[in-house]
Amino acid sequence: MEKLLQVNNLSVSFDTYGGEVQAVRGVNFDVHKGETLAIVGESGSGKSVTTKALMRLIPQPPGRIKEGEILFEGKDLAKLSEKQMEKIRGKDISMIFQDPMTSLNPTMKIGNQIMEGLIKHQKMSRSQAKKRAVELMELVGLPDAANRVDQYPHQFSGGQRQRVVVAIALACNPKLLIADEPTTALDVTIQAQILELMKDIQKKTDSSIIFITHDLGVVANVADRVAVMYAGKIVEIGTVDEIFYNPKHPYTWGLLGSMPSLDSADEDLYAIPGTPPDLIAPPKGDAFAARNDYAMKIDFEQQPPMFKVSDTHYAATWLLHEHAPDVEPPASIQRRMQGFAQEAELNTKGDRS
């Protein structure tokens, strides 16, 4: 598959009074055409900062891209001028934000907010852009679009607003859509609707999606591949199946274990002990070592490299080193993994019949 985006050794830091916060520390990943990459991790793991850096939306100062390349169709976005970036934002790469209640301008008509990108990037006239805005609103499933195009955000519900946000992001048929926790602020029914909408649109437009979330249920639903981030680094990356059925990093085990499920009512929900490290002074070795039940001496000394599990599956844990002892994931996680596998089997059987 053709690569749309390739991120090489990206590091982003924020200069604060307390010191340099290394929010993203050398991240590598790529996104192929038409695929959905999910980035998961807990709050403060650098997911949002990574994707904002892709669009160069990190406020500078205090933030800065310290090093690394962001190759989008061969062009290094990290080196473009602000003017050049303005031509890419909204046209080639666009973004869906987390909170639909605050991500629309309260004093501007919905139509105008959708039209803005069309007028700027596709040089449409106002009337053309308005016609297209109505079409887009219909595409994202907003009824009575012809009238509602002249309404203000407060006249829309939360789910409807998120549909508007999706319409804005889709306006210029972007090649890459970054969705920064697009369903976190919505209730579960609306969540499912928005996810369906995004999958549907991806099928129609063949765009790539980077999907940031901390909801693994959503990941299983939408993603082709998953990158797990911890303390500003990607600790494991692989296809959805590999991450869910054969996770290798203890942090991924923890994440999967802490995912509530309907059939695990009798046991306590697992919580990863401790707190994430201070990124002003990140630990010398593996950043997860202090919270890791399986940590070895070397975890506190040296950062693990990315070990190859398969052609598509990599994990940064010393447990994969040839001299490391064989460690099995905890029993509860194993049960989970089996559960996922059974579910998947049922689903595929269901598809066949």
Q: Which residues bind another protein (CB under 8 A)?
A: 55, 57, 82-83, 86-91, 94-95, 97, 99, 102-108, 113, 116-117, 120-121, 152, 154-155, 165, 168-169, 171
Minimum CB distance to another protein, residue 86 (Å): 5
Longest dimension (CA), the chain: 68
Q: Is 86 exposed, middle or buried (0-12, 13-18, 19+ CB in 10 A)?
A: middle
Q: Is the CB of 113 or the CB of 292 nearer to another protein?
A: 113
What letter would DSSP give residue 254? H
Burial 172-182 (b: 16+ CB within 10 A, else e): bbbbbbbbbbb
In the complex with another protein, the residue whose CB is nearer, 92 or 286, is 92
With respect to another protein, which residue has the nearer C-beta, 25 or 132?
A: 132
Nearer to another protein, 113 or 207 (CB): 113
Tell me whether residue 57 or residue 324 sits nearer to another protein (CB atom).
Answer: 57
CB 267 within 8 A of CB 339: no
Minimum Å distance from CB 280 to another protein?
22
Question: What CA–CA distance (Å, rounded) separates 299 from 289?
Answer: 6
Beta carbon of residue 139, minimum distance to another protein (angstroms, whole number):
17
- Measured in degrees and rounded to the nearest 5, phi and psi for residue 307 equal -90, 140
Is the CB of 59 or the CB of 350 nearer to another protein? 59
Element (H, E) at 126: helix 126-139
CB of 94 to another protein, least distance (A): 6
Q: How far is the CB of 95 from another protein (least distance, A)?
A: 4
**Cα dihedral value 300, 302, 308, 313, nearest 10:** 50
In whole angstroms, the minimum distance from the beta carbon of 172 to another protein comes to 9
